């Protein structure tokens, strides 16, 4: 868990803070030695009589970046202590590989020497730390300002490709290489950073088949790089949109992940449409498929 965020604020900001917290549906109380304490789910914001403001709990980073700093403090320093790599580069990431329903999406984003710091200012970070609504909002801004490419692999196409490759990592390697190859038709860049999901040769071989000449950096936790984080946001936004489309088409909310709820919804769909419906909605190689098709 992240360390609490602590800042000394002007007492005159109390009323503004209170109004913003109420607008965002926090529950406010006033324990001893405080001017206010606000809680929402697992996030807690406490303003002491000394003027010390402490924010802690789940969702802290997003609250500080998108609510507290712009609407109350008027500063944008949280998280800016990270070193910002100014080098022009392409960042690549995927979303949906662990979700039974919905597409697999791979995104590539290019940022030059002047743009990485701007991504930080937008609040770009690993999509796993952001809510869907924030991801969709940021994705719109990134798509409007940065060269990008998105490879959307719907379930039917995914299942066909999985049979062709016989291996998820090879399929992912093809998806990454395809996104990179497409983006290179729009920009000139030789440096590419991706999150390492397999042996190094997997993506390198896929790039060679597409005759892409780049310097590939494969890292664990590559989403810590702001350009890769931007790609993770575009990939997740594409997944969320794709899942929403399929949910609307079939009149049922398809859950993320591969939980017991996923199995329950899958059984409901099979009862209504027959087992072939899973080809249109899901990644069939998941063990979840067997659980859904198992007799009650």
DSSP secondary-structure letter at 13? G
239-284 pLDDT per residue, tens: 999 999 999 999 999 999 999 999 999 999 999 999 999 999 999 9
> In terms of Cα–Cα distance, which of 274, 271, 273 is closest to 249?
273
For residue 90, give the H/E element and its range. strand 89-95
| Strand, helix or coil for residue 288 | helix
Q: Which CATH class is domain 89-244?
A: alpha beta
CATH number for the domain formed by residue range(s) 5-73: 3.30.310.10
Average pLDDT over the chain, rounded to whole?
A: 90
Domain ranges in the chain are 5-73, 89-244
Mean pLDDT over 203-225 rounds to 89
User: Is pLDDT larger for residue 112 or for residue 283?
Assistant: 283
Q: What is the mean pLDDT of residues 52-78?
A: 85
pLDDT score recorded for residue 192? 94
Could you tell me what percent of the chain has a pLDDT over 70? 96
Note the pLDDT of residue 81: 45
Q: Return the percent helix, strand and coil in the chain, to nearest 5.
A: 50, 20, 30
CA–chain centroid gap for 106, Å, is 11
pLDDT in tens, 139-194: 999 999 999 999 999 999 999 999 999 999 999 999 999 999 999 999 999 899 99
Residue 97 CB contacts under 8 Å (≥ 6 apart), including other chains: 104, 168, 172
Q: Is the pTM of this model over 0.85?
A: no
């Amino acid at each position: 868990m992240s360390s609490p965020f602590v800042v000394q604020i002007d007492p005159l900001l109390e009323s503004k803070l209170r109004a913003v917290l109420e607008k965002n549906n926090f529950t406010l109380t006033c324990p001893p030695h405080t001017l206010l304490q606000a809680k929402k789910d697992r996030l807690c914001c406490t303003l002491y009589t000394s003027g010390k403001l402490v924010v802690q709990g789940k969702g802290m980073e997003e609250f500080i970046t998108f609510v507290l700093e712009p609407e109350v403090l008027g500063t944008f320093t949280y998280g800016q202590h990270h070193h910002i790599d100014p080098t022009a580069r392409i960042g690549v990431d995927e979303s949906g590989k662990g979700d039974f329903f919905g597409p697999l999406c791979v995104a590539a984003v290019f940022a030059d020497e002047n743009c990485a710091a701007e991504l930080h200012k937008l609040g770009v970070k690993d999509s796993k730390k952001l809510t869907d609504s924030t991801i969709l909002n940021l994705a719109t801004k990134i798509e409007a300002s940065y060269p990008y490419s998105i490879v959307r692999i719907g379930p039917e196409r995914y299942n066909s490709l999985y049979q062709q490759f016989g291996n998820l990592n090879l399929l992912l390697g093809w998806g990454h290489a395809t996104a990179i190859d497409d983006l290179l038709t729009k920009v000139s860049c030789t440096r590419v950073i991706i999150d390492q999901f397999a042996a190094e040769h997997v993506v390198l071989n896929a790039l060679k088949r597409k005759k892409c000449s780049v310097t590939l950096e494969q890292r664990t936790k590559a989403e810590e790089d702001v350009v890769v984080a931007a790609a993770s946001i575009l990939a997740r936004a594409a997944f969320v949109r794709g899942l929403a489309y399929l949910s609307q088409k079939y009149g049922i909310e398809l859950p993320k992940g591969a939980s017991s709820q996923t199995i329950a919804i899958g059984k409901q769909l099979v009862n209504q449409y027959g087992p072939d419906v899973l080809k249109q909605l899901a990644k069939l190689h998941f063990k979840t498929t067997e659980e859904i098709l198992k007799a009650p």
